[in-house]
Each structure stands twice: as structure tokens, then as C-alpha cells.
Structure 1
């Protein structure tokens, strides 16, 4: 009971943010509502004795959320750096949980993810401008994170689903940042989708370790 109540509150706050302030201009209310769910999720993970790499990854992503609640032209790079650190924590966490070996289908799935991700970044590349190096570095670490999640042993299905949701969220965000026509306002469906995929992907990763 003590675990599900705060997680339910975190989910409710995240849904509220996604359907209300996710497309609003930067401001204190947007910042506080955006990070509230992740703060609770990070606190639950720490209180429940989750691996420290999970807590560190959640905390780094919460900092990234705070940066990305501000103006993109100023805070996008610091936000990406915080999320990069979060993904490094997740890669180390997933590898420490053990990896399958000798499974051809698993290797194939990892290969499909990496090649599909590389193709997507190649498609984005003409629109990246001075952000190209940062996006390439970020794409590399999130694809390694996804491949490490695919390679987790049986019993980590929630973690895998959460990691793939996280990747899907970032793919939508990249499209909105770099492929949306200049001056066009953010669209409702992509904004809601990317936020809910991101937050509930993080929750799935957390539950995947807390329920082991």
C-alpha cells in the first residue's frame, strides 16, 4: 500500500502536467508540476532501497526535466547533459543486473534497435545544425541503454518496456525540436504522447527493479 499510493500520486501529477501545462510557456508553475512526479518517483525508489544507479538515473533525469521546462535555446544543452548522465546510470544498472548471451534473436533485436535509431538520426541530421554533435552523442547513449535493456535476463520485462517507451519519447521530442517548421507551435498529441511515454517509461523501469 505504501508503495502504490505515492506512485499513484506521481502518475496523477504527470498526467495532469501532460494535459495542462506541457505546451505552456516557461514559468514556476510549469517547472514545479513537471518535476513533481519525477521527484516522487525518485523518492520512492530511494525509500524502497532500489539500486543506487536507478536512484541516480532518476535524479539526473529529474534535473533534465527541470532544465527542459525553461526556454529551449538556453536550457536544451544542459538538459541533454543531465539526461545523458541518467542514461549512463541506466546502462551501468542494466549491465549490473546481468545480460543474456548466445541468443541469436536477442542479438538480432539489439541490432534492429541500433540500426533503426541510427537511421532516424541520419534522417534528422540535416536539421540539427550546431546541435549535431550533442544529438549524436545523446543518440548513441540512449541506443546503448536500449540495447542493454533488450539484453536483460528473463524477468525484466517491465524494464525493457519502460526503456523502449523512453526511446520512443525521445524520438518524438527530437522530431518536434528539429523537424517541426520554424515558428509552428507545438502540437497537442505529440506533446501529450512524448511526456506520458517518458514518465510512465520511467515508472516501468523503476517498478521493474522494485518488484524483483
Structure 2
């Protein structure tokens, strides 16, 4: 299978972390899509992924799957190892719920701020609305406060076990660093969780 991505960008990072957690990084072929040169908007790529975004997964039978959550779902079930999306009906539902909260409240909010209220990707930005971007800045801070409360009562973002929610939240906070949105100092539980997650080998650390 092939993963079309741009290494270092937030959403591709989420998929790469999921692959690392499953011990499957060497089992896929990465295909570089130069987003900064607009390759994601060329007809050849759009024919594979109409949303013109990375990452995208191409299976051996020619099926194309986009959206990080869908790609991670496939990876989780295609490879042995740690469960990222849950084993029981309850676990799967809670993880799905918290994953969406991490996406909407942190990851996507930071992204909207970056693309609308900062220079973003420069000439690649087709439309910007600064007022909307600043509103999303507020939403990102609110999302951080929310997860700080969650992590004050449980070890991981979706419960007792590491999951895709932790990946999304961790990358979302890294994106916030890049966009210069600081985690509030009073979010001590979130900061402690982040320091612990940074030690996982999948996230660039040396151990879990």
C-alpha cells in the first residue's frame, strides 16, 4: 500500500505515528506530494483524492482512502499490535467521540487560525477570514482547557488506554506550537500528559 503525504505536516504526522505504534512503518510506501509547490491540486492527484489534501492511502487493489480518521481505522485493523480505535463497542464509541473532540476543539481550530489569521501557507491560501481565524484561536484554547480537565481524571485522552485520540491531541498541540498558540500555564494535567506522550518512540521519544 502507498501513503501519499508531505512529511512534517500535521495530518500526515498523525498517520505516521499510527503506523509507528502498529510497527508497520516499513510495510507501506510513502509517496511525497509537494504541497508547497501545489502538487496536491494537480489533476493527477485530485483524481485520486478529490479533497486535494494529504494524506491519502492507496491500497493494492486501487482503492483510495483519505481523511486521517479513516486511514487510521484501516491501519488499526490491517496490522497486528496495539489497538488504536478500541476493541469493545463501548471503547470504540468513546474513542470516536473523543477523537472528534480533539479534532474539532484543538487540531482543526489551530488549523483554521493558522490558515485564516496568519500568513499561513502564503500564496497557497485561496481565501482568508481573519475574524474567523481569531475565533478559532479562542476555540483552540477552550479545547486545551477541556482536555486538561479530562486528563486530570484519567491517564489518556479517551480513557485508560492509549488511542488515536492521543495521537490527534498530541499533533494538534505540536501544530499549536508552530502557530504560536501557547498552552495555558494552568493546564498542568495537559502539559504533564504531553511530556509523557513525547517519550513514546512513535512520537520521537526513546520509550513508551
The alignment's TM-score, normalised by the length of structure 2, stands at: 0.35
More helix as a share of residues: 1
More strand as a share of residues: 2
The alignment's TM-score, normalised by the length of structure 1, stands at: 0.34
